[in-house]
Structure 1
């Protein structure tokens, strides 16, 4: 079921543009939401979309991926094995600030007389652009232009190009460029006590000042977190230009006057002079951040100086050229092109793709936080979202980044082994939420009990290897992950002696967090079976094809061949719940015995339910936060018949609240598959507009990166009908009514495949690489460069729906719609 999806802003405020999210007019009421939407980031460094002048502001945050503080988790009543230490990403020094004064009047939106306002997230070039004209109290008009980027080429650099032009009169101008550090590490109000999704508000100081320097036009600061001991150095430097002849008359009051200073928590570069009408004062501000667990303060400061030196050498023009080259490469590999009578569709789809890049592009040795680097919600933690919702996009468009994410999970393996011992299990148990590899979830019922994180990682590993053919990574790193995750399942589960002799897994929580600590969760059992099977398959292959490597690996893991056979036996004996009377798969062993929640008569103000009802109330009912059985049908589609998929979808669709942003995209994919085209387009629209229309009412806290990945999936796996089960690459496309064309590219086994869909024809074109075999509606097609293959599409979608226009559901009244 779907709650009401808000309308997008009207076109006179939010114009339709295939490459921009543009805002025409200043709206103070939506500042927090716009700060998230207009974030620029590169996966390592993220600058929220707050204004350079520093106000008005809701959360003026800057984040560095993997830079966190720890804190003791306090329980009213504790128990053995509970997570002991929380982790929260730190709001680091704010270096965006550029304050402007004309006639001693500060430029502050909401306080000055605006003549025009335009701001745009330029998704083609990877910049945030703004142009404002304001009028001073004395009637002088001033144009302020800025362009902001966080470099994809230079991971530690960001830059702001700011230009101030007096349009019709001379005036004294002061520009103050600042860097400021909030030692508490959190911006804004609230601790998240009433909403577990929000970040913790630290008590006391987080960052300890270590070094501060000022010379020329440069300020550099260094800090260290008090508990986690992580080092941070950051700095700013400047290039200043005034147009016109290069002599003292450039500024009427004589030479430009400059000053620089640095303190423990702040630094500032000021310059001032009297500018003539028509003159443009240009300030290019360079920002650099470096972090490190082992590096000392002076080394980190040195790295900042190197980065700033590089930025000065290139100038803003050079950094922008690099940025455009990186963006061109991204769009060449990853763009989804939509043509039809819904003009906003292209714009909205690209917004989601752009934020996927911003969350992952230079994450490198770090994971991908649930909010990317757009907000502090969820503490900056890495969840299973990365493997199930983001890795498919990376695997098929940026396999190098996908590999880095899996390498990051391999680096966490020792801590996952430690966690398994803490919960009295063998093998490894990956943390439900983490930054450093340790479990940081304080609520075990909906956290630690979600053991399926192990199988999710194994599934992402298998998909990556099948799509890339990267068996070297599989053998050298992936096999170790598979062995330790399979060991956990074998130890956690058991054979039922007095019953069916099947292998059961009890006391776990599946993806649906409204149903916790259950027996035989269908999703968990099926994914664990896949994990066990794949582990057995890989080790059997390594033993046969690389016996020396197998011996070394077995010795390191303490692995006996009989253990591999036990994995295979458990997989084949796995219990799969099924209800013959209803013809559906129960979500778990007891789910169908519970009372059905009355969703149609639940007040809209009570959603999300977790903020209005005690967990025990939710656990006693058939009510679902997010797709669970339906997700299993997507990931392991070959394990279900078409009839089972239809019955399962229909049953669980009525029970799913939409309280999770992870649900709509999966429901869209399966709705397409079972022929419920109207629901499919509605769910896809909900996923696509999750942030632009603020579907969940919480975009102020950051972008829903997993839903952005789900948007890609709902198009590629939904509309194009792409499936990759068992290493076969199959398409069953159906273009929605009103879509004239859809095209995208996938990277498979090093080859680049372009899929081009018209209402009645699919064209498969190999852009580069070796010949590739795919299937169109079960027909094998062998593709070679320069020889596109066209095939008719035998079924079409007849439901009229749009990604960007509200369509009332005739089956539900406004009062009952959720």
Structure 2
């Protein structure tokens, strides 16, 4: 664990400027608005360790897949997120000397991420010779106007002599990706314009050899200050506005930079992209800084009013859940159904900024409950719209039906690791499970009947072709897969994968009875096909050990030297940073919930005894080196009344990044797993379930907490749930009367 910020219910505050933790600090203070976002790097040039990452939703580059041994079925390209043109850059000089926070004498440093208002502030005093100036900086990415970035400085002369102040505000197209090969660049500057106080830069991604679009971005900046505008010569890939003036002793001045960012994702050509940027610039110019900041605060207040979780008695737990919700909503709030939730969001380049199965498994339940209904609908429609890509992926493997990608921007598989891309096919089942989860929670089967059924049938046809029939065992099997536990590759009969394949076929057959005859005709499902699906359902092999009373993770798992995680020396954890891949694959250690993931999905289908035996066997073997793992364990532990373990796992999922549990947060946050803290409270501690259309709760309060409260949307109602040591209060705030089950008691809410 590594904690670099103070504990505060609404803020991340640090007074340390330490180059050794600078990357971690930047990740944790990332901000965004779903349309774009950035790491918490300084706007000024910093000669120490830094990664100035700015990312725009849906803007990516297809890079050629290069492997030593090419095999049929490999993706043509893998997708990577592109570090955007740096529109946040601002540098300043005191008495002709450029300020560099890595080199200069800096005191009274404060960094504050205000999660309630959605803004990041810095304050510090820089001393250079006789000059001593206090600098206050505030930035936010507007959720009231998605294309808008605002940056404001205030300079105050604390010294005894006047100071000559110069500010250069730039848009810099000379940028690199952190993961660029051979120092390659992805942007080509196409157009530059500047006046004394404004600048425009247009850039386009370089050509690629694939049938994927190139992206054009226009960035229009406007600068406001009491200083005097000066002419400035910009480098070849930049536009720069320069301002200078004299700062008397005790005097202060301010400087404000606004940037509008538009892209060809929303406009047909470069001219339209530029026109839109200029029009939006004129629009936001009508408002004062105070008005823009107030709009940002009000927009965040609206989100918090519906989504906030309050915890009494544990400030670290409170900070953790709010931090996670803040970063989730900074990444995605459903405004654009062409976008999804990347595992790193706008906070780094690992995982390429693409879409993974994490969304359907972990994010959808949260968004169903605490955001407007269209947010979840857009998540489902994202996959429906990419069904043709899933069909393409299956065909590339010589299979029927639809194989949803492990990694994608456009529906086409763009991951370049074989054991993940083609073996981790369990993600196909989770896409189907999301449709079931949505329909079960909302009670609305419209999406299922009109669009979801196409997805289900495509996935069912894939499973029916991917299984094989063992003549020896007289059962259907699935060989050559990787389950959620990626510390085992190319195994046979992963229990979780086989379970999801069987369940998907069952759910698809049941769903076909709900659709129209016209839809049935379109899908072209024959009686013989349905009969084959039912045969697979009836004779699917699910490995099990009767003696131990557990489901076996895969056929040969019990042949390993099974030892608990406690047998690993502390100095060798996390094992993925200390052991060879060969050693990890031969070990019994589990990266994340695998069998337990399946039990969580269908938690009411297993008896307490079955859940207990499997949890007791697998949890001690799990190293939780996937960010997705702790929440599943927290929910199951709570279900089994293992309170201490549930609380331990909640702390791990809630503060995974804040406390840098896996020593990997410096390269970006774990956005999709941040839903785990909410799931651990709502499904874990509060025991929320939907059974036969009815909402159930079985709450408890962790011993070190005094209580907690949250709100959920459920079938047109808004419920407020408050759990304390004295009992549980559930209030129907809006909507029609509703009967719920509270710890076995039927209660009618009005």
TM-score normalized with structure 2 length: 0.94
| Aligned-residue RMSD, C-alpha | 2.2
Instruction: Return structure 1 stretches of 4+ with deviation > 6 angstroms.
Output: none
**Equivalent pair of 1:155/1:362 in contact (CA under 8 Å):** no
What does residue 775 of structure 1 align with?
Answer: 741
Report the 3-state secondary structure (helix = DSSP H, G, I; strand = E; otherwise coil) of the residue aligned with 1:659: coil
Q: What are the equivalent positions in structure 2 for 1:511-530 lying under 5 Å apart?
A: 511-530=484-503
**Structure 2: distance between partners of 1:170 and 1:470:** 68
Structure 1 gap segments, 5+ residues each: 1-5, 188-198, 243-250, 785-818
CA distance in 2, matches of 1:776, 1:497: 49
Q: Aligned runs of 1:120-519 on 2, under 5 Å?
A: 120-138=112-130, 140-167=131-158, 169-182=161-174, 185-187=176-178, 199=179, 201=181, 204-226=184-206, 227=208, 228-242=212-226, 256-259=228-231, 264-292=236-264, 295-340=268-313, 342-361=314-333, 364=336, 365-398=338-371, 399-499=373-473, 501-519=474-492
Cα distance 1:327–1:569, how it changes in 2: closer, same or farther (>3 A)? farther
2:197–2:224 CA contact under 8 A, matched in 1: no
Cα-to-partner distance string for 1:135-160 (whole Å, 9 max, x where unaligned): 3311x432211111111122221111
In structure 2, the partner of 1:22 is 13
What is the SS of the residue equivalent to 2:168?
Answer: strand
Cα shift readout 1:498-546 (whole Å, capped 9, x = no counterpart): 43x444333222100112222221111222233222222222112xxxx
SS of residue in 2 equivalent to 1:81: coil
Structure-2 separation of matches of 1:262 and 1:60 = 20
- Structure 1 residues 544-598: Cα deviation after superposition (integer angstroms, max 9, x where no partner): xxx3xx41x3344333355445445533443332211001111122222233257
SS at 1:152 equivalent: coil
Alpha-carbon distance between aligned partners in 2 of 1:141 and 1:61, rounded to the nearest angstrom:
30
In structure 2, the residue matched to 1:85 is: 77
* SS in structure 1 of the partner of residue 240 of structure 2: strand
Cα separation, partners in 2 of 1:119 and 1:362, compared to 1, 3 Å: farther
**8 Å contact from structure 1 (residues 230, 291) kept in 2:** no
Partner Cα distance (2:236, 2:694) in 1: 58
Deviates more, 1:33-42 or 1:666-675: 666-675
Measure, in 1, the Cα distance between the counterparts of 2:577 and 2:623: 13
SS state at 1:313 partner: coil
Aligned residues: 741
Q: Contact conserved, 1:361 with 1:401, CA < 8 A, in 2?
A: yes
Q: 2:659 aligns with which of 664, 675, 693?
A: 693
User: Offset of 1:756 from its aligned partner?
Assistant: 0.5
- Measured against aligned partners, the alpha-carbon deviations of 1:173-206 in whole angstroms (never above 9, x if no partner) come to 11111111235x413xxxxxxxxxxx45366332
2:2–2:661 CA contact under 8 A, matched in 1: no
Equivalent position of 2:29 in the other structure: 38
For the 8 Å contact 1:626–1:658, the answer to whether it is kept is: yes
Taking the aligned partners of 1:624 and 1:727, their CA distance within structure 2 comes to 35
Structure 1 residue 599, shift from structure 2 partner: 4.1
Distance in 2 between the 1:586 and 1:635 partners? 17
Question: Quick one: distance in 2 between partners of 1:768 and 1:529?
Answer: 39
* Distance in 2 between residues matched to 1:257 and 1:449, nearest whole Å: 59
Residue deviations 1:443-502 (CA, integer Å, cap 9, x gap):
222332111111111112221222223433322322211111111112212444443x44
Tell me if 1:107 matches 2:99. Answer: yes
* Match of residue 537 from structure 1: 510
Residue 285 of structure 2 aligns to a residue whose secondary structure is helix
- Does structure 2 retain, via aligned residues, the 8 Å contact 1:25–1:116? no
SS at match of 1:324: helix
Mean CA deviation greater in 564-573 or 388-397: 564-573
Q: Distance in 2 between matches of 1:44 and 1:564?
A: 43
Residues in 2 aligned to 1:612 and 1:47: alpha-carbon distance in whole angstroms: 31
2: CA distance, partners of 1:616 / 1:599: 18
Judge conservation of contact 1:65–1:363 (CA < 8 Å) in 2: no
Which position in structure 1 is the counterpart of 2:38?
47
1:8 aligns with one of 3, 18, 22: 3
- 2:632 matched residue in structure 1: 666
| The 10-residue stretch of structure 1 (305-314 or 600-609) with the greater mean CA deviation from structure 2 | 600-609
C-alpha separation in 1, matches of 2:180 and 2:490? 26
Change (3 A) 1:568 1:765: farther
CA distance in 1 between counterparts of 2:541 and 2:434 reads 23
- Deviation, 1:724, is 2.9
Of 85-94 and 223-232, deviating more is 223-232
Q: CA deviation at 1:655?
A: 1.4
Gapped regions of structure 2 (runs ≥ 5)? none
Whole-Å separation in 1 of the counterparts to 2:7 and 2:254:
30
**Structure 1 position 755 matched with structure 2 position 735:** no
Q: Measured at CA, do residues 562 and 152 of structure 1 come closer, stay the same or move farther in structure 2, by a change above 3 Å?
A: farther
Q: Does 1:706 align with 2:676?
A: no
Give the CA deviation at 1:166. Answer: 2.1
Give the TM-score of the pair, scaled to structure 1: 0.86
SS, match of residue 312 in structure 2: strand
**Per-residue deviation, residues 699-740 of structure 1 (Å, max 9, x unmatched):** 110001133111111111111111235544221111101211
- Of 531-540 and 681-690, more deviation after overlay is shown by 531-540
Query: Contact conserved, 2:30 with 2:38, CA < 8 A, in 1?
Result: yes
Q: Deviations over 1:209-253 (max 9, x none)?
A: 2222223522222222221542232324234243xxxxxxxx7xx
Cα distance change on mapping 1:568 and 1:292 into 2, 3 Å = farther
